[in-house]
Amino acid sequence: MSKTPDSGKAEDDEPSTVEQYLVKDPERFALNMARMIEQAGKAASAWAEPREKGDVRDHVAEPVVDMVKTFSKLSEYWLSDPQRALEAQTRLFSGYMTVWANAIQRTSNAAEATEDAVKPERGDKRFLDPEWGRNAFFDFLKQAYLVTSRWAADLVEHADGLDEHTRHKAGFYVKQVANAISPSNFILTNPELFRETVASNGENLVRGMKMLAEDIAAGKGDLKLRQADYSPFEIGRNIATTPGKVVGRSDVAEIIQYDPTTETVLKRPLLICPPWINKFYILDLNPQKSFIRWAIEQGHTVFVISWINPDERHGTKGWEAYIREGLQYGLDMVEKATGERDVNAIGYCVGGTLLAAALALMAREGDDRIKSATFFTTQVDFTYAGDLKVFVDEEQVAAVEKSMSEKGYLDGTKMATAFNMLRSGDLIWPYVVNNYMRGKDPLPFDLLYWNADSTRMGAANHSFYLRNCYLENNLSQGMMELAGHTVSLGDITIPIYNLASKEDHIAPALSVFLGSKYFGGKVEYVMAGSGHIAGVVNPPASNKYEYWTGGTPTGDFGEWIAKATDHPGSWWPHWQSWIEAKENTRVPARKPGKHMKTLGDAPGTYVKVRV
């Protein structure tokens, strides 16, 4: 009897054969194993050499200690009550007995179908190979793993004695461990990997170890996991290609003005403040996906802040410097280039958080140049700040600060790894298997090229962000100190367009919704479909996803969603209508360099500095 793909069973009755797992050419296999060991030695050398020279200092113990402490608290809850501990052990034992009984039944009667003790979640691609279902050994491994990982997740969910932060961390760490120990990650426990290794006589492992050595060398002693073939892409050639000029350059930012494509433009220029944790060209990946190009086509005179990739020189540059030398410097350049003081502004992610803090400071100082603000997946209140909050408590922040004090910055690979861990099942382990066990080069993908183009975090900037936002939540509580002022979001009375994404794991839609109430003016809350990137970078021509609009973002979030209006496609035209409703005066198009000297072509020089 056939089974559905979700169960991991084969869709046909073809039996599993032992021959496909037997080495056909032992001599060649042995030779390739020797070559693999040689490449593994090169990988080990690439890891060890920078440590021997003192260029790299490991801080692996710190997160491991935090994980052990978290699991200790979880264990304490379950073991403190014998009855509770017995019930937990009984649930696990019962699951194992079901798996064992299924295995015995299948061995004794291969023609009779058995129901899995537990099935993979819908969309889980790890167990799609038919052998996970029709081979008794691999089926047993799969079910035992799923029973164990589900049981561990349930322990966290039902540990009523844990505080919310510890529960959040425990759930996150359980997921990381579960993803890491999946049988799909190992040669001998993954039928597909096993077959490929035998069929190629181990050549896949030789290629994989060679790639591992290359990636450790590229990470200067740390693994820089390649998620795509980056070679076809070049910034300014086929990435970030919208024409424009650099019209200003400070110590922390370049200001880019883009060429118009319409005869007339909106009177108010548009200044975009992207995150410095990633590079701005996520909004200009290619002509089809570029929000910047689309905004220009709608008649905006677009300016973008391109942040410096900081080094030792920028270690003391905090948020005030990024506001003065980045955001307000950008406003100065807008005025110099166009003669306009009134500006529409956009902030994306942490760039939006900086924009919100800057607006609160500017309100105290009487700087009213920004007339409307749009926030893309931006948090101003960090009560429900998503999985990144796992990495933030006093001990972990102090450890990060200690690490940054050595160089004046946090290595970009550290932040890249943290973001990848938020979706390790999609962004880490599939690439580990494909690259280092299958020995296959990943395919070209512009989004993953951008994702790998990581930036360093300046020490003062990053410390201020972690403490004032994630750790102490000072911005929404009106306790953030900037330039001698205690700033308040309530002082921001300009119109706000607050965009969230439904499946965002970095700035959850609930968090963005709750943050809306702290602004002093009217807020248009919009929730896009998909996640932190795809929900924002969703051009109308793609006709993908959807977005929701509704009333004032107050009260219960679930009730707001239930009453919201569902619109198919991109939210971009809705935002354009919102902008034009505030001010729709048109003037002749402005070309970069007409009123000032330019400093080079877009996308500038700062964006090309790599880690």
Q: Say if strands 302-307 and 270-273 run parallel, antiparallel, or are unpaired.
A: parallel
Domain boundary among 165, 185, 219: 219
Query: pLDDT exceeding 70 applies to what percent of the chain?
Result: 95
Residue with tokens 């749009």: 374
- Do 183 and 280 lie in a common domain? no
* pTM of structure: 0.89
Q: Which of 553, 298, 360, 317 is nearest to 457 (CA)?
A: 317
Residue 436: the pLDDT is 95
- Do 155 and 202 lie in a common domain? yes
pLDDT in tens, 228-286: 999 999 999 999 999 999 999 999 999 999 999 999 999 999 999 999 999 999 999 99
- Do 215 and 302 lie in a common domain? no
Q: Which of 301, 239, 297, 242 is nearest to 541 (CA)?
A: 297
Q: Is the separation of the CB atoms in 378 and 349 below 8 Å?
A: yes
Q: Is the separation of the CB atoms in 119 and 63 below 8 Å?
A: no
Reply yes or no on whether the pLDDT at 177 is more than 90. Answer: yes
The catalytically annotated residue of 88, 252, 349, 397 is 349
Number of neighbours of residue 97 by Cβ within 10 angstroms: 12
pLDDT in tens, 25-59: 999 999 999 999 999 999 999 999 988 888 777 65
Mean pLDDT of the chain: 91
- Do 248 and 211 lie in a common domain? no
Number of neighbours of residue 16 by Cβ within 10 angstroms: 18
Residue 436, domain member (yes or no): no
Q: Which of 226, 351, 229, 223 is nearest to 282 (CA)?
A: 351
Express the helix, strand and coil content of the chain in percent, nearest 5 each.
Answer: 50, 10, 40
pLDDT in tens, 577-598: 999 999 999 999 999 998 899 9
Domain holding 50, by residue range, is 21-219
The DSSP secondary structure of 1-38, one letter per residue, reads ----GGGT--SS-PPP-SGGGS-S-HHHHHHHHHHHHH
- Do 262 and 389 lie in a common domain? yes
- Do 329 and 473 lie in a common domain? yes
Task: List b or e across 130-160, with b for residues whose CB sees 16 or more CB atoms inside 10 angstroms.
Answer: bbbbbbbebbbbbbbbbbbbbbbeebbeebe
- Do 186 and 265 lie in a common domain? no
Reply yes or no on whether the pLDDT at 78 is more than 90. Answer: no
Residue with tokens 């690490």: 403
- Do 27 and 91 lie in a common domain? yes
469 assigned to active site: no
Residue 538, domain member (yes or no): yes
Residue 365, domain member (yes or no): yes
Give residues with Cβ within 8 angstroms of 517, minimum separation 6: 553, 554
Burial class (CB in 10 A: 0-12, 13-18, 19+), 497: buried
- Do 85 and 212 lie in a common domain? yes
What's the count of helices (H) and strands (E) in the chain, helices before strands?
21, 16
Residue 21: the pLDDT is 85
Residue 350, domain member (yes or no): yes
Q: How many domains, the chain?
A: 2
User: Quick one: CA dihedral 510, 516, 517, 523, positive or negative?
Assistant: negative
User: Quick one: CA dihedral 95, 97, 102, 103, positive or negative?
Assistant: positive
Domain boundary among 184, 202, 219: 219
Q: Which two tokens stand for residue 438?
A: 């299958």
- CATH number of the domain that residue 506 is part of: 3.40.50.1820
* Residue predicted with more confidence, 224 or 364: 364
**pLDDT-derived band at 14, boundaries 50, 70, 90:** low
Residue 59: the pLDDT is 58
Reply yes or no on whether the pLDDT at 490 is more than 70. Answer: yes
**pLDDT-derived band at 8, boundaries 50, 70, 90:** very low
Residue 2: the pLDDT is 34
Give how far Cα 504 sits from Cα of 151, 307, 605, Å. Answer: 26, 24, 31
- Do 201 and 264 lie in a common domain? no
Burial class (CB in 10 A: 0-12, 13-18, 19+), 115: exposed
Residue 230, domain member (yes or no): no
- The distance of Cα 176 from the centroid of its chain, to the nearest Å, equals 15
Query: pLDDT exceeding 90 applies to what percent of the chain?
Result: 71
Residue 225, domain member (yes or no): no
- Do 264 and 383 lie in a common domain? yes
- Do 193 and 261 lie in a common domain? no
* Residue predicted with more confidence, 107 or 505: 505
- Write down how long the chain is: 611
The DSSP symbol for 484 reads T
Residue 525, domain member (yes or no): yes
Residue 594: the pLDDT is 87
Q: Is the separation of the CB atoms in 438 and 487 below 8 Å?
A: no
Give residues with Cβ within 8 angstroms of 537, minimum separation 6: 282, 283, 285, 289, 291
Q: What is the dihedral of CA 180, 182, 185, 187, to 10 degrees?
A: 130
Residue 273: the pLDDT is 98
Residue 476, domain member (yes or no): yes
Residue 58: the pLDDT is 66
pLDDT in tens, 314-345: 999 999 999 999 999 999 999 999 999 999 99
The DSSP secondary structure of 287-316, one letter per residue, reads TTT-HHHHHHHTT--EEEEEE----GGGTT
**pLDDT-derived band at 64, boundaries 50, 70, 90:** confident
Q: Which amino acid is at 209?
A: M
**pLDDT-derived band at 113, boundaries 50, 70, 90:** low
Q: Which of 493, 470, 480, 492 is nearest to 381 (CA)?
A: 470
Domain boundary among 203, 219, 235: 219
